[in-house]
């Protein structure tokens, strides 16, 4: 028996395990290829691209907040932020409540770039979903939700 407790009594077959591992690997590879294409299309390194996407949900971010969300060291965030500032996609603003803290926000050029990226992603996801029949779409979304919940549960057990 392994370190994780079983939620369901029925054991996972070797074939199911192998198929799951192969599918996850292929999905991951597909996602990596898409990320590479996106980065080239929008002229941004991967880390800058991912950082820019964080501003979609936030008006202001701090370097510390970005580091936590991206799961990287604060020193790495400094390089990412500097690159985005050089490209005039984000700007530094002094926190009015604490001048020691710099807030980061999208510039107008950054907002335009983020809008382009979001339009591209929406079209891309639409194209993926349109490859499936409506009932397949619903089943796939339900199953992805189950997969996400299962992966999060296992992640919690690993800490």
Residue 132 contacts residue 89 (beta carbons within 8 Å): no
pLDDT, tens digit, 9 for 90 and up, residues 11-21: 889 999 999 99
* pLDDT > 90? residue 98: no
Structure tokens at 6: 């079983």
Neighbour-count burial for 81-119, b at 16+ CB within 10 Å, e otherwise = bebbeebebbbeeeeeeeeeeebbebeeebeebbeebee
Which tokens go with 115? 């809008």
Give 95's Cβ-side CA count (13 Å radius). 11
Range with the poorest average pLDDT among 24-33, 96-105, 131-140, 148-157: 96-105
**Greatest extent of the chain over all pairs of C-alpha atoms, in Å:** 59
Closest among 95, 54, 99 to 72, alpha carbons compared: 54
What is the per-residue pLDDT across 26-46, written as a single tens digit (0 to 9) for each?
Answer: 999 999 999 999 999 999 999
Assess whether pLDDT exceeds 90 at residue 1: no
Verdict on whether the full-model pTM lies above 0.75: yes
∠ CA 47-50-53, nearest 5°, is 150
| Structural domains of the chain, with CATH | 15-158 (1.10.10.10)
């Amino acid at each position: 028996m392994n370190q994780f407790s079983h939620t369901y009594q029925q054991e996972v077959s070797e074939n199911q395990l192998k198929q799951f591992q192969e599918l996850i690997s292929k999905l991951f590879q597909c996602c990596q290829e898409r990320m590479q294409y996106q980065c080239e299309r929008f002229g941004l390194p991967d880390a800058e691209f991912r950082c820019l996407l964080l501003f979609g949900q936030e008006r202001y971010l701090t370097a510390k907040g970005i580091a936590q969300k991206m799961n990287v060291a604060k020193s790495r965030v400094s390089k990412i932020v500097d690159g985005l500032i050089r490209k005039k996609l984000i700007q530094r603003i002094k926190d009015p409540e604490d001048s020691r803290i710099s807030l980061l926000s999208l510039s107008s050029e950054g907002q335009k770039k983020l809008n382009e990226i979001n339009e591209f992603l929406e079209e891309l996801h639409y194209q993926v979903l349109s490859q499936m029949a409506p009932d397949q779409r619903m089943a796939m979304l339900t199953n992805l939700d189950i997969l996400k919940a299962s992966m999060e549960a296992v992640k919690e057990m690993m800490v």
